[in-house]
């Protein structure tokens, strides 16, 4: 936020600048003018100058002034603690307002210097431009000298019109489609009759890799929905599946949501 101040006299030195970028900017200016390091004690020393600035703010938006008031309240607490004969005793984990504000101001100063350095490079036209390489020139290695369109047509016909024994489409064997929905229905039917199943019994004889994966996903879905319970005695032993005690045998799972 931009707040103007001109010709405002404070204790021992003069504040004369056009704008302050927020309350931390004003606080940093006061400390640097007094040639102080950013410490809890320095914050207590510039509290009066900070409050003098707030007293001269006129015709400002309440939202802008509120940010300055928050820092002013912290400065008053820091100064009041500095005036005590003994430092206040803090419980473990309680934040030190002076140390916290000092660290916040140090971080703000660091970012401000980086921003000024970047602005200086921008105004000096020290920018980076991407250099795009020109497309490479590819020289043709196939010599088509003397080749006519008729020659190309005859060459294509000689390749495409060869009498090759391709199998009929009706003879081509396709991989059967296995879905989780179908596997769930099959598992439910088996559980209703046998009450206890193992993984190999559900897979059947000579299952394909797709069937193993889809069956395993279907079992995970049933376990997640508390239809089945899985039990394995030892590592790498067969997995036993039994109906959950709370399952009443009905199955109203919305299979449309499962592929």
- pLDDT (tens digit per residue) in 223-249: 888 888 888 887 777 888 888 877 766
**Average pLDDT of the chain to the nearest whole number:** 77
Cβ-contact 214, 180 below 8 angstroms:
yes
The model's pTM: 0.39
pLDDT digits (tens, 9 = 90+) for 49-92: 888 888 877 666 777 788 888 888 888 888 888 887 887 777 78
pLDDT digits (tens, 9 = 90+) for 147-156: 888 888 888 8
126: tokens are: 């020290």
Q: Residue 189: count other Cβ atoms within 10 Å of its Cβ.
A: 11
| Confidence band for 169, pLDDT divided at 50, 70 and 90 | low
Q: Residue 139: count other Cβ atoms within 10 Å of its Cβ.
A: 5
Helix (H, G, I), strand (E, B) or coil at 100: helix
Element holding 228 (H helix, E strand): strand 228-232
Q: What are phi and psi of 19, to 5 degrees?
A: -140, 155
pLDDT digits (tens, 9 = 90+) for 97-131: 888 888 988 998 999 899 999 888 888 877 777 77
Exposed e or buried b for every residue in 62-94, given b needs 16+ CB within 10 A? eeeeeebeebbebbebbbebeeeeeeeeeeeee
Supply the DSSP string of 151-187, one letter for each residue: HHHHHHHHHHT----PPPGGGPPPPPP--HHHHHHHH
Q: What is the DSSP letter of 226?
A: T
Q: For the domain covering 180-257, report its CATH number.
A: 1.10.10.580
What pLDDT is recorded for position 114?
A: 92
Collect all residues with Cβ–Cβ distance below 8 Å to 206 and sequence separation of at least 6: none
Q: Is 98 exposed, middle or buried (0-12, 13-18, 19+ CB in 10 A)?
A: buried
Q: Residue 109: count other Cβ atoms within 10 Å of its Cβ.
A: 16
36: tokens are: 């102080």
Question: How do the domains of the chain map onto residue ranges?
Answer: 2-87+94-123, 180-257
């Amino acid at each position: 936020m931009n707040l103007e101040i001109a010709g405002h006299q404070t204790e021992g030195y003069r504040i004369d600048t056009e704008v302050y970028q927020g309350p931390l900017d004003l606080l940093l200016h006061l400390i640097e003018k007094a040639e102080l390091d950013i410490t809890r004690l320095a914050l207590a020393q510039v509290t009066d100058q900070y409050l003098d600035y707030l007293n001269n703010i006129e015709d400002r938006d309440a939202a802008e002034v509120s940010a300055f008031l928050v820092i002013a309240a912290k400065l008053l607490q820091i100064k009041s603690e500095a005036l005590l004969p003994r430092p206040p005793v803090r419980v473990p984990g309680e934040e030190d307002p002076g140390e916290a504000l000092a660290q916040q101001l140090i971080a703000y100063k660091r970012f401000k210097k980086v921003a000024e350095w970047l602005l200086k490079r921008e105004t000096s036209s020290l920018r980076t431009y991407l250099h795009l390489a020109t497309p490479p020139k590819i020289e043709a290695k196939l010599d088509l000298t003397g080749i006519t369109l008729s020659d190309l047509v005859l060459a294509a016909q000689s390749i495409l019109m060869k009498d090759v024994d391709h199998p009929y489409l009706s003879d081509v064997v396709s991989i059967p489609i296995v879905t989780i929905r179908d596997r769930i229905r099959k598992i439910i039917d088996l559980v209703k009759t046998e009450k206890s199943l193992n993984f190999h019994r559900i897979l059947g004889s000579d299952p394909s890799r797709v069937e193993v994966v889809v069956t395993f996903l279907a079992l995970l879905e049933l376990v997640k929905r508390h239809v089945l319970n899985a039990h394995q005695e030892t590592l790498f032993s067969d997995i036993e599946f039994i109906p959950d005690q709370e399952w009443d045998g009905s199955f109203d799972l919305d299979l449309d949501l499962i592929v």
